[in-house]
Amino acid sequence: MLPLFPENTKLWPKQDHPQILQEFPCENFQVQVLAAGFKQLMGELRAGRYDTWDWYQLAKRADELVTTHGQAPGLLALQHLKERWEQVGVVPYQHQIRTAERVIHELHGQAILADEVGLGKTIEAGLILKEYMLRGLVKKVLILTPANLVWQWYSELYEKFGIAAGIQRTQWDWEFADVLIASVDTAKREPHCSIITGIVYDLLIVDEAHKLKNSSTASYRLVNSIQKKYCLMLTATPVQNDLKELYNLIGLIKPGQLGSSRSFKSRFMEDKRTPKNPAELRKLLSEVMIRNRRQDGQVTLTERIVHPVVVTLTPKEQEIYNRVTEFIKARGKRSGVSNLLPLITLQREICSSFLATALTLEKLMAGLSPPELEQAALLLKDLAEVKQNSKCDALERLVAQFSDKAIIFTEYRASQEYIRYRLERAGYKTLAFDGSLSRGKKQWVRHLFQKEAQFLVSTESGGEGLNFQFCNLVVNFDLPWNPMRLEQRIGRVHRLGQTRDVHIYNLITKGTVEEHIMYLLHRKINMFESIIGELDAILLHLNLAKSFESEVMRIFLEHETAEEIQAHLDKLAQRILSGRAQLKASAWEGLL
């Protein structure tokens, strides 16, 4: 490898020189190349004898000099993308621009983007990528993301940045695509892993990077072994339960930044959640991590307006509901709380549609004892005979008031099909959105919804990975028990780019477990208005022995009266609110 400059190429002060052929001026310093040196330099460049790392170091040093001696240069991408952003309606926020400038000019392309949920980390990463591409510093790019976000990355890069990325489908794509988006789960398997680690990338981007917190996993080993010049990690929760997770994540970006594992533990860990020397640790983190928060006034989202829609069941429906609930409670007491999932599903479905309940009950019958089997068969018969669905009746009355598009969420495919049948029969144009659709079909359905249909009936899995800021009405036909699932639904429309207030309509069947869930989520923890962006961290901080759904189901099984159930839900709500306060006051959260 040749030295960066030939001998007769020099850095001169600003003064005349008779042999100067070319000048590269700047406000505070000047590169002057002698005629002989320029000729030799051009010859070596044409021969391709300069190592790319030299040019990377030169560009990095130039940025440092300009930043040190004068005003930091702006972003080329902002002017380049101005017309496109006007066409697609993108207005970059100041915190996003500042983040991109800092990553490029101060952190030299090695950074953890740790903004809170919904503040636009993908926009920041896209802006950094575009800037490096315009500067000629990045060509070969790998973006690793959970499978359900692959298509979102593709559409965001193309629509907002004019970057035509490839989506990995075969093992040949790794080498031949300049900008490639792939799922982490695919990348960590062979033969893909061996191919990836043999390629030198200009830029690696990893979304949902907190999933790499464990250094013994295949995903962590893969990312650690990838050869890259620049690297961006995106996560809203860089610390979840243990400061060692933060150490592992920083090690992927900048090995040695926090010392060895042993020295980090002795210097910076009082225990797994309490840091020592926080000022020193915060300084080290600031050299590799950027975190923007809502509370800092960086961005203001539109309002969420919640509308509870109470549904009263007919006497026949209420009787069937009570009998199914009694069956579930009896079954739960016999089998214990070790295998609650089928019972949780059944208890939630009975508040959604009898059709969904019947299908699950039929599957459950294979493992029942003769007395239980007889009871289940009778329930199936009675479920089939109920022709009315009071909840769908209420839905029809509700949507008749809408003059705009709405997303109707349900957790169950059977309920989804029944809702569409009822709405189509009433004369509305609907579309189905669920996890069985391919990435291309999901994007096509989204396009049709934006241009033509009035209602999109979506299951939980269907709603993942795509954003619908053009819509501001959300109907929860049934309520998920886990508040994070509910937050994810609302987050499809209530996010950066939404210009209108978001109206959320929750259909709640009176006299059922759904009433208790609404009491917990809305009245007690006020998650619709105040918890946004914090809930995932709070639930992780609580470290529940079982899942959130299991915790609720245990309360429901162990207590008979509505008053007892409500009292214990109050205690669960208090744990959540206390967890929130502890999280905000925790020493390690202050580090971020």
Q: Kindly report the number of other CB atoms within 10 A of residue 33's CB atom.
A: 24
H or E segment at 585?
Answer: helix 562-585
| Cβ atoms of 457 and 431 closer than 8 Å | yes
| Cβ atoms of 508 and 518 closer than 8 Å | yes
* Helix spans in 261-353 (H): 261-268, 278-286, 315-335, 341-349
Cβ neighbours of residue 407 under 8 Å, at least 6 residues apart? 455, 456, 458, 463, 468, 471, 473, 474, 475, 492, 493
Alpha carbons 258 and 246: distance in angstroms, whole number? 10
H or E segment at 361?
Answer: helix 354-364
The one-character DSSP state at 33 is E
What confidence tens digit (pLDDT) does each residue in 368-420 have? Answer: 777 778 787 888 888 888 778 899 999 999 999 999 999 999 988 889 999 99
Buried b (16+ CB within 10 A) or exposed e, 508-533: bbeebbbbbbbbbbbebbebbeebbb
What confidence tens digit (pLDDT) does each residue in 191-206 have? Answer: 999 999 999 999 999 9
From 13-17, 281-285, 478-482, 497-501, the region with the lowest mean pLDDT? 13-17
The one-character DSSP state at 227 is E
What confidence tens digit (pLDDT) does each residue in 279-332 have? Answer: 888 888 889 999 887 766 666 778 888 898 999 988 888 888 888 888 877 777
Q: What is the pLDDT of residue 19?
A: 45
Q: What is the pLDDT of residue 7?
A: 42
Averaged pLDDT, 228-252: 84
Alpha carbons 300 and 446: distance in angstroms, whole number? 26
Alpha carbons 522 and 514: distance in angstroms, whole number? 12
What confidence tens digit (pLDDT) does each residue in 425-455 have? Answer: 999 999 998 877 776 787 788 889 999 889 9
Alpha carbons 395 and 531: distance in angstroms, whole number? 27
DSSP per-residue string spanning 107-121: STTEEEE-PPTTS-H
Q: ω into residue 191 within 30 of 0, thus cis?
A: yes
Alpha carbons 471 and 365: distance in angstroms, whole number? 41
Phi, psi for residue 32 in degrees, rounded to 5: -120, 130
Indicate the pLDDT class of residue 35, thresholds 50, 70 and 90. low
Among the listed residues 135, 98, 87, 138, the one whose alpha carbon sits nearest the alpha carbon of residue 120: 98
128 pLDDT above the threshold of 90: yes
Averaged pLDDT, 83-106: 89
Give percent of the chain with pLDDT exceeding 90. Answer: 32
Alpha carbons 520 and 348: distance in angstroms, whole number? 15
Alpha carbons 487 and 467: distance in angstroms, whole number? 13
Averaged pLDDT, 477-481: 85
